[in-house]
Amino acid sequence: MKTSQAVVITAIATFLLTSGLWLIAFVGWQAYRTAGTLGITGSGMSFNAPFAVTHRCPPEVNTGDRFDLVLEVTNTGSDDESIESIDLYHSFLDGFTLSGASFTYQRDDNGDFETLWVDPAVTIPAGGTETVTITLEGSKTGTWSGDVDVCDPGVNFTTVVPNVEVLPAAAP
């Protein structure tokens, strides 16, 4: 085989392999994004977090209406664990105004998401469950979906993906 043929075959093989990897990444990303828009709920995705999280919120609200995003956090570990922060991604939060929470927090914008630093951290005993509530007000019409991460002090977290449609304000 000539050197030029080997170069062409290598280039084609590299192109096909790279294209295949990009296709796999694209399909995976689309599946991840679609999960949020379908309103898939449950314990969410966990990244080494010592707890499981479920959430409740209405599927739709009117502009100007307040509602609670309720997070039930269960400590699945054998030691006491703490909730240090809750991250709200802008793909969800941008449709709402944050009106309050059931815990004291400091707010910090991190670009793609806002962090609510729980102050003081909420401690959950082993096997226990803590309910935390974030009160939001519909501010922009559209369907809003995105990650809500519940984080421990070691930056381990569990993600849930709420999905809420904000409708125009109700007629008086």
Domain residue spans of the chain:
1-38, 45-167
Distance CA 160, CA 148 (A): 5
**Of 149, 159, 165, which Cα lies nearest the Cα of 67?**
165
Mean pLDDT of the chain: 84
pLDDT band of residue 65 (cuts 50, 70, 90) is very high
Distance CA 23, CA 8 (A): 22
Q: Is residue 46 pLDDT above 70, yes or no? A: no
Give the list of residues 6+ apart from residue 145 with CB closer than 8 angstroms, or none: 36, 37, 39, 91, 92, 161, 162, 163, 164
Identify the CATH assignment for 45-167 out of 2.60.40.10, 2.40.50.180, 3.40.50.880, 3.65.10.10.
Answer: 2.60.40.10
Comparison of pLDDT for 32 and 62, the residue scoring more: 62
- As a whole number, mean pLDDT of residues 101-116 equals 88
pLDDT band of residue 31 (cuts 50, 70, 90) is low
- As a whole number, mean pLDDT of residues 102-118 equals 88
Global confidence as pTM: 0.72
